[in-house]
Amino acid sequence: MRVSTAKMDAMKEESESQSCGDNQGSGDHESGVATSNVESSVQMDGVKLFPLIVKWSGKEYEIEDISPLKTVRDLKGAIMTKTGVQPGRQKLLNLTYKGRQASDETVLSYLSLKPNQKLMMMGSLEKEIEKVDVPPEDRPDVNNDLDIPDEDDEPLENREVHLNKVQRRVKEYNVNVFNPPRPDKKLLVLDIDYTLFDHRSTGESASELMRPYLHEFLTTAYKDYDIVIWSATSMKWVEEKMKLLGVSSNPMYKISFYLDYLAMISVHSQKYGVIEVKPLGVIWGKFPQYTPKNTIMIDDLRRNFIMNSQNGLRIRPFRSAHLNRSTDRELVRLSEYLRKIARLDDLSSLNHRKWESYLAKRQQNKGDRRSHHSSSSQKM
């Protein structure tokens, strides 16, 4: 895919002359941004075209004969032809320039791409987004299930058919442990999409889509909890997202291990029909030091922990990152809640649906004690 030195020099000279001339087009070869005439400045004869591979939704798509003189915007157009995903919906996770997400105007020749290089893409088809935005009328509003009454919970965890599936996962699912369990630590199991990361919005970098205070939250939680990431996606996506968010390399905390969709099981629920869930019994079976008494799972969907509802806490989903990241403080409040309950011997005795009430009550009691102490001091 390499362009000859002479042609690269011609590209740069053309880019520089455009930026210093009549300002038609914005050429800046240092930033990798194309001018409007950068491609026409080089004869296509002798320019080597190259293929790229885009991985999306479990499949690979070959993008044939891409010119190194094209831009990222052009590449996204070619990807749309193959996948149907609109350019504005595409996030090419490992397409970077000088350590940052490449902009749409970046010329491909500046990105050091190799023939047949695989690019990982996130993005959804418009018809799939419409399905999510307009929930079916014949099922509960999954995105608003904080208010589902406790008595509506189904006792799924003790059904033999489900327990057999859990035991099969315990036996067959391979866990790659990065950091072994620590003595006397509780277990925090975290979802990714809409819990830690807005995976539907678009941004120049993963940090723009990361939930506010994520690293502070994980740093504080790590003092009392071993941390596990469990996503309903493939392990490759889990690893890529944790890398992009800076979670896997942060020196202030350590992740014990990742779980993906293969550790999940399908169950039949009267409320949701047949669904895939995250049974904590898989973890408890593989790591006996973790039990219902010392485990809490945080997810934006209650149905994901329907097998262990007493151990699950439904977090408000983090969507529309560009609009909400300046006001979202969910992880700040949850950090305080986790810190307060870490001293308890049995977490399964808590009603995590009322975690905010629990936190408010503890803070009120603390204020009452301070007021009483101040009053007593004045009397003395």
CATH 3.10.20.90-classified regions of the chain: 5-124
- Mean pLDDT to the nearest integer, 58-73: 89
The whole-chain average pLDDT of the chain stands at 80
In the predicted structure, residue 358 carries a pLDDT above the cut 50: yes
> Where does residue 163 rank: exposed (0-12), middle (13-18), buried (19+ CB within 10 A)?
middle
CA 167 to the chain's CA centroid: 28
pLDDT for 367 equals: 56
pLDDT in tens, 305-342: 989 999 999 999 999 888 898 999 999 999 999 999 99
| pLDDT tens, position by position, 118-142 | 898 887 777 765 544 443 443 333 3
CATH H superfamily, domain 140-364:
HAD superfamily/HAD-like (3.40.50.1000)
pLDDT given at position 129: 58
Asked if pLDDT for residue 95 goes beyond 70, the answer is: yes
The CATH 3.40.50.1000 domain(s) of the chain lie at 140-364
91-92: strand order across its sheet: 59-66, 50-56, 117-122, 91-92
Which CATH number does 5-124 carry? Answer: 3.10.20.90
Q: What is the pLDDT of residue 99?
A: 74
Q: Give 174's pLDDT tier (boundaries 50, 70, 90).
A: very high
pTM for the model: 0.63
